[in-house]
Chain A
Amino acid sequence: MDNKRVLQLKMTVLVVLFLGAILLLYLLWMPENAELNISRIFDFGRAPVQTMDHRGLLVPDSVNISRGDGSFTLQVRECEKSMELALSILKEYYSYGFLQLEEISREQYLQALDGFRSAELDFGFSLPFGFIAELGGFEESGAAAELLISRICFSSAARDSVILVDGQSPGFWRLVFSGPIDCMARFSALELEDEPALAWRADSMLGLGNDELLPLAMSSNAIGFEIRPEAYGDEYLAQDMAEDIFGDTFDFVRRISDSFGNVTYMYGYGEKSFYAGIDGYFEYTSSAAGSEATGFSEDLQRALAFIEACGGLKKTGESTGLRLCGYSESGGRVKDRTFLFTQSFGGRPVAVTEGAGLKVSLSGGSITGFTRRLYRWMTGLYGDVLPCAEASNVIASNSNHIYNILNNNTLAAASSEAFEFAAGETVSMLPGYFADSMDQLNPCWILRTKDGTAFYFDLYNGRPLGFCRSQL
């Protein structure tokens, strides 16, 4: 045998011995129940997911501009521009120097808004002002950071101040700064393509004790069109989500399918369960609450990370924009938090049969609940500009429906009683879209009441399309 052959043989023996050493190491250190799974290491065939923009998540439901004579214009599209402007104004105020935080009365707030030129950003739900400071890139670490606010108001009544409102509690505060800014000049200079709608206080329109803003007359080119549940044509979405949730234990979780094809994945005796409906509804629950004292931003990041890890957001046309549309917190140092997110189309929120398309609950920093019903559409449709059903007429013609739902009552109330009740309970009425169970996206009025219930009415004829009780 020549030297070359001997060397080749030795190299072969060496390779065998090396592989043998690897195998023995694997046998020695492998946990008893472990299983090598190449598909987990090389994740083939997953669709790319969209990275969510933290900043773009918060968009006001409406921007209410007051002329100072009691009338308002209601801007419901392109609110992102007003949000950016508001953040830059707040940053400038903070650069002048923060002087004090003082509580004001509801009357003072209404006077500053109605009696002077003013701009109010209404988010439709309350969230910590500290998060807005974080978005705006200015530092607010004092008492204001902890305030839960749903509206930010700038008024020419006090150019050195910003008014913060918690519409839910309710509470009104004034932040006073060292320098004045002519905020209204900047809001007036905003170039908006959309024509804002006129709005008045509900009491002046309906003659009742409700000082929320209602649009007076509005026209729209929104029309209904067909949409698809995000799982449509993606047979692996549910399994991919389940794999992401259960991780290494996925192959050993209980998988239950009913005769319709809905699947429930269950770990242990229901400690964690994940439901994947064939209609595109997903729900995850976990009894494993955490014990960390996390903050709003940290929990929001965890919620977003969970959404990204659990199905993500597919890059499909216009249907990817997510907005934060609801928030609640409870508990002391260790908090339970729930975030609601909605898809949007044409700058308007898309409500689904459950209310918000995405809901993530955390307890002590751990995800304890998640619901998801998202849709996709490649291109949206618009039609001719038509007058919308008048908000006051929609409330009047549906007051019995609203009364019965809110009172869990099937008996008809007297018309005047039902109307007074419905008008008094209305907190906001804004245009949006409602995705019904027939996979149709319908332009609608979204009427919200004090207890968090949302009613959906056809935008043009005011007929009821559905309703959803508070998810928080």
Chain B
Amino acid sequence: MDWSKATNILIALFVAVDLALGGLYFSQQYSLAQAEAEAARATQSYLEERGASVRCSMPEGKKRMAVLFVSIVKDSEPLEESRFDGYRVVLSGSPGYRAEGISYGDAKAGTLSASGALQKFVALHAEDDILTNLRIDDIELVYWLDRQDLQGAEGQDTARPAWRLRTSQGEFFVEAF
């Protein structure tokens, strides 16, 4: 058997397969990006129709993130929100307490993009008056934990990635997983 010839054929075959799969992958990614951009534009125009406006730049891209294990500590004096690895760690529903990051969970998963979060926010509040004349000042990816169910208890808990929307109507959080 001519091994040299056989390997040439196999190399050619695998180059063709890799090119086809690569093309397929990039076209898939391109379509997804196009669809997302289109949805973002639609959301933007819907917001404008309702008199709402976005006064901040939209962070781009999607991240793969893990959950964040946090320690819940008493916070007698109101301090700046804690940060972990550059992300703000925001605790809701437990006044007088603060969440401090300890470590990430083992696995990561894809998160919503900022425009995706905005779409989810609009979909959630499409029937509300909140959107009318709403001004969105800031969109930021944070680690968020809502502990209304466990108010006033110390211990450890789990914060999840969420988009924080600072608006003229107050703060809103959209879960990013």
Binding site for B on A (CB under 8 A): 3, 6-7, 10-11, 13-14, 17-18, 20-21, 24-25, 27-28, 32-35, 37, 251-259
Contact = CB atoms under 8 A, between A and B. Distances in A.
Nearest to B71: A257
Nearest to B147: A256
B14 A28 contact: no
Nearest to A254: B158
Given A32-B110, A251-B107, A24 B21 contact: yes
Contacts of B69: 255
Given A17-B17, A254-B157, 11 more contacts: A7-B4, A10-B4, A11-B7, A14-B14, A21-B14, A33-B177, A251-B67, A251-B106, A252-B107, A254-B160, A259-B154
Contact of A256 (B10, B109, B157): B157
B18 interface: yes
B154 A17 contact: no
Interface in B90-129: 105-110
Contacts of A18: 14
Given A251-B107, A255-B156, A255-B158, A27 B8 contact: no
B155 A259 contact: yes
Nearest to A263: B156
Given A24-B25, A251-B67, A254-B157, A17 B14 contact: yes
B4 A6 contact: yes
A359 to B, nearest CB: 25
B35 interface: no
Nearest to A270: B149
Interface of B: 3-4, 7-8, 10-11, 14-15, 17-18, 21-22, 24-25, 28, 66-67, 69, 105-110, 150, 153-158, 160, 177
Contacts of A6: 4
Nearest to A28: B25
Given A27-B25, A28-B25, A259-B154, A252 B109 contact: yes
13 contacts: A7-B7, A10-B4, A14-B14, A24-B21, A28-B24, A35-B107, A35-B108, A251-B67, A254-B67, A256-B155, A256-B158, A258-B154, A259-B155
B17 A21 contact: yes
A28 B31 CA distance: 13
Contacts of A7: 3-4, 7
A348 to B, nearest CB: 39
Contacts of A254: 67, 157-158, 160
A37 B15 contact: no
A20 B18 contact: yes
A252 B67 contact: yes
Contacts of A17: 11, 14-15, 17-18
Contact of A14 (B11, B24, B25): B11
B72 to A, nearest CB: 9
